[in-house]
Structures are given as structure tokens and as C-alpha cells.
Amino acid sequence: MSILTILSTGPNILLLLYNFLSGLIILGLLRAVSRAVDLIMAHFGSSRDPEEKMRLGNSSRSPTIAGLVLEHLCPTIQNILEDGLRDHKLDLIIGQRRNHSWRVVEVSTRIGITKF
């Protein structure tokens, strides 16, 4: 194997490893959302009565639902917006970027514009 081959495959191996680790992080982030959804489903599953379900979904009558959404579901979704959807290849070159949630909004808006 020539030096040139090592140099050309080296960064690719790093990139593969980086993508693999990024994949694990995204998987972890998705599992966290899934766990939050499971907790919320279990909360509503505690009764079959539609009126009781309404009560279970009203945060002023059932503070548990507010806690589940605000402290479990929202942070996991925010983590995905901030870390899970960034451009990992660009990050490898440019480094960490701030304000990831906002970038997701920007990218989505751009996609929306190019459709028209």
C-alpha cells in the first residue's frame, strides 16, 4: 500500500467512523423520543373512559401530562433538532455549529422556496 493510498483512504475511514458514531447518536436521540412517547401513551392508557382521557390530557387537571410533554418529549425533540439533523460531513470540516434548531428552520424554508 503506497503512502498515497493510505492518505486517500485514511480520511475516508475517519469519515466512516464519524458517520457510524453520528448514527449511534441519532439512534439514541430517536430512542429518547420513543421512550417519551411510551410514557405519554402509558399515561393515556391508564383509562378507557373517553372523559377520563380528556381529563388526563388537560394539564390543569392532570399535571403529569404537562411534565411528560415539557420535561420528556420536548427536550428529546429539541435534541434531535439541535444535534440529530445537522450536516455531519460539513461539521467535520467546519466544526461545531451553534443554533442548530434555527438552521433546521432555515434549511426547511429553503426547501420550501425551491419547490415553487
Ligand X SMILES: *[C@@H]1O[C@H](CO)[C@@H](O)[C@H](O)[C@H]1NC(C)=O
Q: Which is nearer to ligand X, 19 or 59 (CB)?
A: 59
**Given candidates 102, 107, 108, 109, which one binds ligand X under the rule CB under 6 A?**
102
Please report the sign of the dihedral spanned by the C-alpha atoms of residue 28, residue 29, residue 30, residue 36: positive
Number of residues forming the site for ligand X (CB under 6 A): 6
**Given candidates 99, 107, 109, 110, which one binds ligand X under the rule CB under 6 A?**
99
The contact pattern for ligand X, residues 8-47, with x = CB under 6 A and - = no contact, is ----------------------------------------
Q: Which is nearer to ligand X, 13 or 105 (CB)?
A: 105
Q: Cα(67)–Cα(96) distance, rounded to whole angstroms? A: 31
Q: What is the dihedral of CA 108, 72, 57, 34, to 10 degrees?
A: 70
State the nearest-atom distance from the C-beta of 61 to ligand X, in Å.
5
Contact positions toward ligand X, by CB under 6 A? 58, 60-61, 99, 101-102
